[in-house]
Amino acid sequence: MDKKQRNVVVMGLGYIGLPTASLLATKGHNVLGVDVQEEVVNTINSGKVHIVEPQLDILVRSAVNSGNLKVSLTPTEADVFIIAVPTPFKLCGDNSKVPDITYVERATESIAPSLKEGDLVILESTSPVGTTERVYEIIISKRPDLAGKIYTAHCPERVLPGHIIRELVDNDRIIGGIDAASSAKAKEFYETFCSGNIYVTDSRTAEMAKLVENSYRDVNIAFANELSMICGSMKISVWELIELANRHPRVNILQPGPGVGGHCIAVDPWFIVAANSTEARLIRTAREVNDSKPYWVIDKIKAKAERFKDPVIGCLGLAFKAGIDDLRESPALEITRHLMADGVGRVMACDPNLNGHFKEFPTYDLQSVLRDSDILVLLVDHKEFKGIDRELLKDKVVIDTRGAWR
């Protein structure tokens, strides 16, 4: 085996795990991807993908055909174990939102029997502070013979959906080990496939860094979303306002939308709030502003629907952002669900990236939605929607939450 080549197990083959496993395989590592869903395992082993991400299908096919990527329901022995499973939040009785690291704990318990002295365990899942230490504690509770004999580190992913393949390689990375030796071991591994700079710290700082990155973005988006609601009541175009304000050399206001989705920005700030409920006032307020935005959009749609006896409402987009099929914490999906539940009218939803695998409620092709809708609501600025002939919109009531049809 080449001195840089490793046997790697990747736990979790979702939006981060699958691209990571495939990339590692194309870089010459022997990779076993592990997922709990048999359908996912079978799909990937056949060289296909179960999620939409630009270039991912090509990367997976290349990785599988090379023989370096195989997929299974259970892990085996390896040199490196990467945990890339979900870390959602859960609601408590007082409606507070706290981190749920159950998937991380289960994945750790699953790999424990396969570990040996000298192995490296990497937590990539975005996690509350202290989770990497918890991973090590679980391993040692199951395998006391490995105390002080394995390496454990956190290396949070920081990629943008729609650009994951490139950013996995090019982006700078933060690595935080539970000790200096673990940090050094993880850095050595990431240097085999990352071209960005690698910064070493401790595991708690690395965990907090990822939470802070997404909380920073959430606060800035909340400012834009709050502006859009203020402008709506004052009959001012928020899009023109932001464009003009950004002419100031030190102002860079982001674009508003129907809310904030995805597994990072919509979730991670709550991890900070849960651990710092008294101090995290700004972070909490920003999260509340962004969580409220879908309901502001719903009220706006309902007001327009009152003009019609039996309105047909076309909801364009269900994913949380353009160019992908990821529905996690999607404000577009939340808006569509509420319109249906409230019986506002006949709702026709369309998302070109779901490819028929969305089963919760019927979806329609774009031509049908454009033809039959009285009200068109642009919720996701997919390229297919941005290119719609404006002549087809002139007889519709249009609610553009993305500013794509200005």
The 10s digit of each residue's pLDDT in 216-269 is: 999 999 999 999 999 999 999 999 999 999 999 999 999 999 999 998 999 999
Q: Which two tokens stand for residue 215?
A: 């909380």
The 10s digit of each residue's pLDDT in 87-101 is: 999 888 777 899 999
- Check pLDDT > 70 for residue 3: no
pTM of the model: 0.92
Point out the catalytic residue in the list 97, 185, 210, 321.
210
The better pLDDT of the pair 349, 357 is held by: 349
Distance from the Cα of residue 182 to its chain's centroid: 27
Q: Where are the domains of the chain?
A: 7-196, 212-400
SS3 59: helix
Residues recorded for the chain: 406
Contacts 24+ apart (CB under 8 A), 359-368: 361/336, 363/318, 366/316
SS3 372: helix
Binned at pLDDT 50, 70 and 90, residue 160 comes out as confident
The CATH code that applies to domain 7-196 is: 3.40.50.720
**DSSP string covering 291-302:** HHHHHHHHHHHH
Q: Which two tokens stand for residue 83?
A: 């945990």
- Going by their DSSP bridges, the two strands 30-34 and 69-72 should be labelled as parallel
Distance CA 341, CA 275 (A): 34
The pLDDT of 149-175, averaged and rounded, is 94
Write b or e for each residue in 75-113: b if 16 or more Cβ atoms lie within 10 A of its Cβ, otherwise e: beebbbbbbbbbbebeeeeeeebebbbebbbebbebbbe
What is the predicted pLDDT for the residue at 2?
Answer: 54
- Going by their DSSP bridges, the two strands 346-350 and 198-202 should be labelled as unpaired
Torsion, Cα 366 368 370 373, to 10 degrees, reads: -130
Is the distance from CB of 214 to CB of 265 less than 8 angstroms?
yes
- Going by their DSSP bridges, the two strands 375-378 and 312-316 should be labelled as parallel
- Check pLDDT > 80 for residue 360: yes
The 10s digit of each residue's pLDDT in 118-150 is: 999 999 999 999 999 999 999 999 999 999 999
| Helix axis angle, 281-305 to 331-341, nearest 10° | 40
The conformation of residue 49, written as its DSSP 8-state character, comes to -
Binned at pLDDT 50, 70 and 90, residue 52 comes out as confident
- Indicate if 210 belongs to the active site: yes
Q: Which of 351, 355, 341 is nearest to 377 (CA)?
A: 351
118: buried, middle or exposed (CB in 10 Å: 19+, 13-18, 0-12)? exposed
The CATH code that applies to domain 212-400 is: 3.40.50.720
The 10s digit of each residue's pLDDT in 267-321 is: 999 999 999 999 999 999 999 999 999 999 999 999 999 999 999 999 999 999 9
Point out the catalytic residue in the list 194, 264, 315, 350.
264
What is the predicted pLDDT for the residue at 357?
Answer: 74
Torsion angles phi and psi, residue 9, rounded to 5: -110, 130
SS3 157: coil
- Check pLDDT > 80 for residue 214: yes
How many Cα neighbours within 13 Å face the side chain of 64? 20
What is the predicted pLDDT for the residue at 1?
Answer: 46
